[in-house]
Structure 1
Amino acid sequence: MSSTVPVFLESASTTTTGGWKASAAVIMNERGAVISLTGNEANDLRKIQRAGRQLDNLGINAVSLQGDSWNLEQQWAFAKGFTDTLSKNKITWANHEQQLNLLQKHANWVRELINLPPEAIYPEALAQRVADKLTELAPAAISVRKVVGDELLAEQRMGIHTVGRASVKPPVMLVVDYNPSKDPKAEVDTVLIGKGITFDSGGLSIKSSEGMLAMKCDMGGAATVAGALGYAIEQGLNKRVQLVLCCAENLIDGRAYKLGDIITYKNGTTVEIVNTDAEGRLVLADGLIYAAEVNAKHIIDAATLTGAAQVAVGTEYNALFSVDDDYAQQALASAAANQELLWRLPLQPWHRDNCPSAFADTANSRPQKGGGAGGASNAAGFLLRFAPNEGAGWLHFDIAAAYHGSANGMCAAGATALGFRTIAATLLN
């Protein structure tokens, strides 16, 4: 067998298993690796992804997908499985090379950003990496603005500053304006907002050591929306879209924000802090206020926001929240068309009042573990307070499947990049 392993798709009725169990995701024989298909599309895509994982686990680092039976989604399912954490494995595609190379390029970039250690991807570094990458893709259509450290106070971006002020590495609000028309008065079609907490200790509501270990991934929302914009640009996005990344390290020193503190936002909303580990919604609020200021038609935010979303949908789905049924259905259709698992969870206008405070308009959570029952919906309800137009044209992705602390039968350890295709497709729709 050559150093590059050929991989074939076959119908289950024609596969010779030899000494392998018929249920095996992949069978090795003298031809190479064979994946036996059942004819059920959803099951077969999962089986193909599991086959990719098994080949990676065997120590294989280069494959060639053989034959005309591979379609684009089957090849991408294989690629999601046949991906080591550092994205070193090599795949020769059977067809659709241009589209698959583009997908792989942006998925690997999203995964790289999330997997980098926090010392390498602090707020200013994240903002700079994203600004450089997007400018490289469309230099004539991109402008960049960064609001850093105490400059945030001058612009009343109180959530980002409050969460990030205890770190020696200053918080940042990054605004990337993609304006292909170059008309400064062009309508902003969509504002993308990403939670960019580059490390989350939990603040004074400190996490356990094991709970903190993976918290370099807490900027997964920022990486996901940045990757979505880059992917959409390379697919011919012709609408004005602004990217807002709300970047901070949630750490502890004498300046750290405290339980009982009250933040007054630029729009006048007051928020009592009852849990400093419910910080993502505090920074996203600034992004939503910004989106209202530029009169965006649509707003999409993405965040590794709540453990409650992961409890609800597991680690293979992302969660979607919206009070705009038409826009939510559009996102769900985009997810289905791009084979990304997405599930809509409850959100009603009354969820805005589910974190009450006697001292402010709202608290940032409930003073219970995980925010109590319905924690993911209550967090989305908090954000709904800041979404313009009563939430019309707004989608909130709680990306529960963004990161796996250890490898499993479907994915390598680390970031998955799940969600960037859905958001890009929603932008392009």
Structure 2
Amino acid sequence: MTAPASPPALLAPWRIGVDVGGTFTDMVLRDAAGAVRIFKSPSVPADPSEGVLGVLRLAAQQLDITLTALLRDCALFVHGSTVATNTILEKKGAKVGMLTTEGFRDSLEIRRGIRENQWDHRAPFPQVLVPRYLRLPVRGRIAADGAELAALEVEDVDAAAKVFAEEGVESVAVCLFNSFLDGAHERAVGGQLAKSWNGKWVSLSSEVMPTMGEYERGSTAVVNAYVAPKVTSYLRALDEQLRQFGLPRSLLLLQSNGGAVSVDQVATRPVMLVLSGPAAGVGALKGCAAPGEKANLISMEIGGTSCDVMVMARGDVPVTDELTIDGYHLTTPSVEIHTVGAGGGTIAWVDDAGLLHAGPQGAGARPGPAAYGLGGENPTVTDAQLVLGRLRPGPLAGGAVTLDAELARKAIETKLAKPLGLSVEDAAAGVIRLLEQNLLHAVERLSIE
């Protein structure tokens, strides 16, 4: 019996793409001859950069080269990250203060006064990211034609800066009325904050997204201020680490609109990264279409936590200027993506009425599905696939994790089968049927609805 032939040696220079997901960090390497290698390593939610370095080290090991050699011969390094999104979803952003034009202090909390579901008047709005005592007014006014109606009162900025310092504010958002027409007052506020406040994170709405609509522009600036300290610090630290390990040029970040920018370009507007990972699907769809073809295609990217659906109609992927992340409205260019909580790590559960559910909660990288043997006790889609024989017990993702069929079976039996009065196999099949229904609805949402 002959041994399998080893893959041919890589031809430098190569390009690397890394996407950090909630469960796994994925890496694709394409060399100068067009050869493609794929690698997978568990994510590290506490420090996503460790997940990036982890998958790079795994790739270097499997390619039998050093990490320095891998990065030194890399001509292009593109990074898709969920750090901005997860910061919002997990409510782990900075403590934010806000400066508004006098009389507009409550615009952020009033919102548009419209509910997405007009019949549901009991569901609470998401928690405001800036409490009222940290939303402070500044006198001065820009008119509807961009002219100055009243000069900016800088003493109001100094008074607010004192409050921010006393309250431990880490980041400040500035949204003054009609600043999308003339941002002079906002720039003056930013300059004054630099003198009277010892923080370094200031987001001006006229620079983040200078569009009409006081609430949306203010909400975008606040979210930008909320994620900036964590996201920008992470990206700068990762870029520096990669350069130290041999990467000849700075990494590029995928934006929500599908484009790529440098760390320096996105440092002041990290809100542009909220759909960084899923937006890469635009390139995948264009790669699947024949050259010059006006293709109609649908992509489904199913990860450990969620499923992202994107539609290409006659060769184009629609772009929107408005999106909502966890109930927060943003005005930022983005490809149209519909996301549902349906992935390999989606948790299945039975409610008090005896109904089976799949999601939206996920098991994440740790503890992950019960089959991982990392302490997870809740049954997931991965556990159901394992029980049904659609996954093979043993190493998964190149040995990144190991699947234990007995642990998967025990979790489904304890949490699903017994409460429902079903066999383990029927309970597992029910989980998959629910997952498939969620995926079907996601595709219908963007295609026929």
TM-score under structure 1 normalisation? 0.23
Q: Which has the larger radius of gyration?
A: 2
